[in-house]
Amino acid sequence: MPRKNFAKSLGFTPTPNFGVSLPGKRGFTLIELLVVISIIGFLATLALVSLNSVRMKARDTNRKASMKQVATALDMYYDANNAYPSTSSWWGECDSYGSHPLSGSNGYVPNLAPTYMSQLPLDPKGHNANGPGCCYLYYSNAADYKLLAHCTPETGYSSSDPFYDPIRPTWAWQISTPGGRNW
């Protein structure tokens, strides 16, 4: 039996480099596996970065929608009472501004919730005890008001944005009456 046929009869297949390999035992080299793992890691990193930017944009959109909702409720309050709910200073639900509740006469916008909206909003990012965090702040002298999203806009800011605060251009958004804009 020729040597070539003897190897085939045992289940071995000759290879171009004159070696033999077992049938069905072809695998990946260590280098190929490392390349695939590094590509998967790179794609996972890109996905997480993209997901994080989408989350930041969603929180900013939520803040703007919440501020519009409070402004609408304030307009309804003004129509019924000929004045905005007044405060003697900046009120907020965060610790450094009084830890006011989300409704009632002591809410950070007094008497607005639950009559004109179910409850006052909380910032979607929240606030923590270890730092300033993010919260909504309200101030009014009864004739005018200003509502702040006291948190650095996560997706950027520009003076052409209707929520731009000229007093706090890099760390707050605002919605206000014309008289309260520069507070």
13: helix, coil or strand? strand
Pull the structure tokens for residue 53.
Answer: 């930017």
Whether 33 is covered by a domain: the verdict is no
Query: Residue 128 has what pLDDT?
Result: 56
Residue 150 bridge partners (DSSP)? 135
pTM of the model: 0.73
Whether 13 is covered by a domain: the verdict is no
Total of domains in the chain? 1
Query: Residue 151 has what pLDDT?
Result: 84
Which segments of the chain have a pLDDT < 50? 129-130
Whether 107 is covered by a domain: the verdict is yes
Whether 71 is covered by a domain: the verdict is yes
User: Which 8-state DSSP code applies to residue 86?
Assistant: P
Whether 99 is covered by a domain: the verdict is yes
Query: Residue 119 has what pLDDT?
Result: 94
CA distances from 148 to 3, 9, 17, 132, 168 (A): 87, 83, 74, 14, 10
Whether 88 is covered by a domain: the verdict is yes
Whether 58 is covered by a domain: the verdict is no
For residue 22, the Cα-to-chain-centroid distance in whole angstroms is 55
**Domain containing residue 84:** 63-180
Whether 56 is covered by a domain: the verdict is no
